Structure 1
């Protein structure tokens, strides 16, 4: 089971580039979309990350940043991100393999990859929405946008 609404998001520090790391704490005061996915270069993952790249401006209009997370290495992420011209960080849940995915309930023990799971985290680090998608299906952005809309409506 993935973590659900009103659960404090587990902290993490992961490589975002070969020489830089990002932590959950780096995003305090912002909303955060965590997109766990199985693997760089797979067709569905490529489409999913491209979609989030295209909707990044909309997400940022909600004061939200996007982070992609998989068990691929920082070097693999660098090549994938450069090739796909992504404008948001991909984090390497590489060593210990799948540690952060496990904390969020998104690790697939059978194949050693992250499941395709989405989390929307509020400015205080609390999960406001989560969704586990079948691995072979791109979950799109509608659920994320609905969650961000709901968070805006709560604040009115």
Structure 2
């Protein structure tokens, strides 16, 4: 199920920053990079999200915000972010509803696939990439940043 060219499914999720984040609140203001990842504290995710966090200013300069999404709790997100210096908001999709809405839930494993969606300021999905396996991490932040700059 591809969401390319479709309105991004809206959601409101609790954030590691202590508030709730509503996707549609960015409409007309910023592009959004949604980074779905399987689990906090897992080896590949512990490389991926710090890399996105390290490029946060670059994404901001390009008019975008990065949001990490997975099934872990806000408390796990806060602990992981503190340990790894992750500054991007991490959103708690504990029942995988948002992952299902984006077609990336792996219900039998209780996690989401590793995937990236770029949503433009009009709220339309302009880019989507789903890794073949959850342990793969082939799409790097600089590639996603180039996509954002091309919007």
Farther-moved stretch of structure 1 (106-115 vs 18-27)? 18-27
* Structure 2 counterpart of 1:154: none
Deviation (angstroms), 1:39:
0.2
Unpaired runs of 5+ residues, structure 2, are none
Deviation (angstroms), 1:85:
1.5
Deviation (angstroms), 1:19:
4.8
Unpaired runs of 5+ residues, structure 1, are 152-156
What is the TM-score with the length of structure 1 in the denominator? 0.89
Query: What's the secondary structure of 1:118's corresponding residue?
Result: strand
Deviation (angstroms), 1:46:
0.7
Query: What's the secondary structure of 1:81's corresponding residue?
Result: helix
* Structure 1 counterpart of 2:4: 5
Counting only pairs closer than 5 Å after superposition, residues 112-131 of structure 1 correspond to structure 2 as 112-131=110-129
Cα deviation 1:52-98 (Å, max 9, x = unaligned): 0111111111100000000001111111111112111000001xx10
What is the TM-score with the length of structure 2 in the denominator? 0.92
Query: What's the secondary structure of 2:15's corresponding residue?
Result: strand
| 8 A contact 1:121–1:129 mirrored in 2 | yes
How many residue pairs were aligned?
Answer: 148
Counting only pairs closer than 5 Å after superposition, residues 62-101 of structure 1 correspond to structure 2 as 62-94=62-94, 97-101=95-99
**1:25/1:86 CA distance change after superposition, 3 Å:** same
